[in-house]
A = this chain, B = another copy of it.
Amino acid sequence: MTDLSRCAIHTMTHKPWSLAQCCERFAAASIGGISVWRNTVAPEEGGVGLDEAVNIIEASGLAVPAYVRGGFFPAFAPEDRQKAIDHNKVMLDEAAALGADQVVLVVGAVPGMTLAEARKHTADGIAACLDHAEAVGVKLSIEPLHPMYAGDKSCVNRMAEARAICEQLQSMWLGIAVDVYHVWWDPDLDREIELAGQQGTLFGFHVCDWRLETRHMLTDRGLMGDGCIDIPSIRAKVEAAGFQGFNEVEVFSEEYWAMDQEQYLKLIVERYQSST
């Protein structure tokens, strides 16, 4: 049986569960970590509040590889870009309180703005947050999103564009979160993982699967083994490149959210073990 100490699960994976339920069940199942989505924390998004969240997580003994999700930097109006920067700094503060290793960035995209321009806004926005990241001791990780999200969610759709921003900003507080769902198809993936390893930017590794007959672009991800992604092969590459962090299970799925969540957690553990 594969050890689960390097397995983390995103709260969004178990959307029907509260933060407290997630923590209790994950810990009981010997899962090592929990990646926390802000909707479980921030009162304005329906969360329990930061102090309560800190207490719940500390009591569970779970590690927190990631706080999700910052970003959304590009905007036509300068004041909106500043708002995004301010919000990301708040998320860094919250992440620090939660003991999170990194804030994951879904960087954003704006219809009507070229993706190249949006990437400039993104680099500028991240640059404005790096001192704060260092001050609170929390890393920022750019998560390249699948090209099907280039319309309004992310102007960074390959590892290459995430790397370009990392190379431009040159900070040990900035790296990349590699989610197999978004990057598995990329012909440059092997080379980019190798480069990220050399540059010390492999901050996160997310696992799930690509269903062949995807029914919804946002909420029909598969659990490891449901689809066509060769997860062991990609994991072997990130590990060969030096990655030693958590394998974060991040699955948005109406189908799995509708399932009994205790059974689902058992299934996650099974699939995690058979895909490692």
Interface on A for B, CB 8 Å cutoff? Answer: 111-112, 114-116, 146-148, 150-152, 157-158, 160-161, 184-187, 210, 212, 214, 217, 227-228, 230
The A interface is mostly helix, strand or loop, or mixed, namely loop
Does the CB pair A228–B152 fall under 8 Å? yes
> In the complex, A257 Cα to B214 Cα: how many Å?
22
This chain: copies in complex: 2
- By a CB distance below 8 angstroms, the chain B residues around A147 are 146-148, 185-186
**Would you list 29 pairs from A and B whose C-beta atoms are within 8 A, ordered by A residue?**
A111-B212, A111-B228, A112-B228, A114-B230, A115-B185, A115-B187, A116-B187, A146-B147, A146-B148, A147-B147, A147-B148, A147-B185, A147-B186, A148-B148, A148-B214, A148-B217, A150-B184, A150-B185, A151-B212, A151-B228, A152-B212, A152-B228, A157-B185, A157-B187, A158-B187, A160-B187, A161-B187, A214-B217, A217-B217
Q: How far is the CB of A182 from chain B (nearest CB, A)?
A: 9
- By a CB distance below 8 angstroms, the chain B residues around A112 are 228
- By a CB distance below 8 angstroms, the chain B residues around A111 are 212, 228
Residue on B nearest A152 in the bound complex, by CB = B212
